[in-house]
Structures are given as structure tokens and as C-alpha cells.
Amino acid sequence: MTAAHMSRTGVPPQMSVVEKIAPTDPIVILTGAGISKESGLATFRDPDGIWAKHRIEDVATPQAFARSPDTVLNFYNVRRAQMSDAEVKPNAAHAALGELEGFWPGGVLVVTQNIDDLHERGGSTNLIHMHGELAKTRCNECGTIVEGLGDLDCEMTCPSCEASGTMRPHVVWFGEMPLEMDRIYSALSNCGLFVSIGTSGNVYPAAGFVQEARSNGAATIELNLEESLGASAFEEARYGPATEVVTGFVSELKARAAQ
């Protein structure tokens, strides 16, 4: 599908969200697996994605870790090895968001559902990993967080409390509360523009962010390869590869910031 600009009614919008906002308006950007797909990382919910090959109940819940920690740790060791691959690099969409943070006067907050580090490597610094970070390990006993991409195993000992067998990936599993929700909702209540990039629109609470932003008066736009399940909640949408639609949109914001 080529990049296309549409309103939520299916016709070209009379006024773009870029025209509706002022350069002093804060921007909140939600990103999902779709922004990292062109960097070579597998998505989760595509027909050929990660959840098509693994049962969530077996590898991504606290119960799975308690029942079979080796299985869970091996699953994340594979994900860590993939992220360490020299071929996996930030793409133009990541770089564009890093650039946006540098020139937008109102400030930019990126809230990502992704557990990879491609936003950081793409230049974003004002960033929330609401689902955690694959490059970190956390102790289930005391909460200590350790950085590093080495393999995880059941014999690991926490460097702080010295408990054994309690080290797990620092990621949010199904049934657990996403991170920094108070900060996210505060940003949504004060932003002038909410942008959703590469998300499926069926994972809550993130799928409800657009309604939260709209209820507080923000303009909203979806940038995606195709319509998400929540597409009708956005006032504008642009569809195509992230490296095209995100970079094009950021270019428009750059022009707006200079006005």
C-alpha cells in the first residue's frame, strides 16, 4: 500500500492536524512493533509474528516463569540475540523521531510499547518504555535492575539481595501493570497532538490513549502500514511503511516549527 492521507471519515481532511497545532504544543507519540519491522525485528501480532509461533501463556506471563523459568528465559535469550544482531539498526522512522525531539519547541515524549533499544539508538532521549526493556534484567525479589544483553539462566544471582533464580527480563508480562502510567496520562492530558505509529490498536491500556488525548482537546493522527483496530478514533490517518509516512510527517512538523 502506498502512503495515503485520510480523515477518519475516509476522505482527505480539510485541515491537517499539523495545521491545527502550534509549535508550542507538546506532542505525545505512541509507538508499537510496526516502527521496528523495517529494522528487521519481528512483530508480535502479524500472521507470521512472534505470537503465531509461541503461546503467550507459555512465555510471557508470571505464571509461565514460575512454572517453567528455563522456557521463558530461553525465549527472551533468543529475542536478546536478535536485538544484538549487527544487521538490526534504527531505521529512518526512528531517526526522524529523534530529530523531531531536537527541533519541536513544545517538547516531544515518545511512549513505546517496544522493548528494543532502537528509539534510543535513533536519537530519542525523552522516552518511556511502558512495557519494559529487553536489555535489562530485574530481580523478582528486590526489584534491582541490571543492564546488559547477556544470556539469562536460572542460576543467576541478584547482585543486590543475592537471591538465586529470581532474575527475569525487565519486561511487562501479560497480567502485569505497564510502567510509568501516571507520567503517561499526565502527558496525554496536556498534549496538543497525539500520534500513534505502528500499533495494532488492540492492546490496552495503550489502545485507549487516543481517547484520553482527544478528551483533553488534542489533535490525533494514526501513522501505520494499515488501519489499526482503533483507526476510527483518530481524526486523521496516513498509511504506508513507517520509513515513508513518519519521515514525511516529521518533515511537515519541521516546516510548521519554523513558521
Q: Is the peptide bond before 205 cis (omega within 30 degrees of 0)?
A: yes
Tens digit of pLDDT for each residue in 172-187? 999 999 999 999 999 9
Per-residue confidence (pLDDT) for residue 40, from 0 to 100: 85
How far, in Å, are 50, 77, 135, 142 from residue 165 at the CA level?
26, 16, 18, 12
Contact between residue 256 and residue 18 where contact means Cβ atoms under 8 Å apart: yes
* Domain 50-87+136-171 indexed as CATH 1.10.10.10: no
Options 119, 129, 131, 170, the catalytic residue = 131
Tens digit of pLDDT for each residue in 100-121? 999 999 999 999 999 999 999 9
Per-residue confidence (pLDDT) for residue 32, from 0 to 100: 95
Determine phi and psi for 4, rounding to 5 degrees.
-140, 145
Domain definitions of the chain by residue range: 4-40+91-131+179-257, 50-87+136-171
Across residues 242-255, what is the average pLDDT? Answer: 98
Tens digit of pLDDT for each residue in 120-179? 999 999 999 999 999 999 999 999 999 987 899 999 999 999 999 999 999 999 999 999
pLDDT score of 4 more than 60? no
Query: Active site includes 131?
Result: yes
DSSP 51: G
Q: What integer best gives the mean pLDDT of the chain?
A: 90
Choose which CATH entry (3.40.50.1220, 3.30.1600.10, 3.40.50.1400, 2.60.120.10) describes domain 4-40+91-131+179-257.
3.40.50.1220
CA 6, 7, 10, 14 torsion-angle sign: negative
Read off the pTM.
0.90
11 band by pLDDT with thresholds 50, 70 and 90: very low
Give the whole-angstrom CA distance, residue 99 versus residue 29: 13
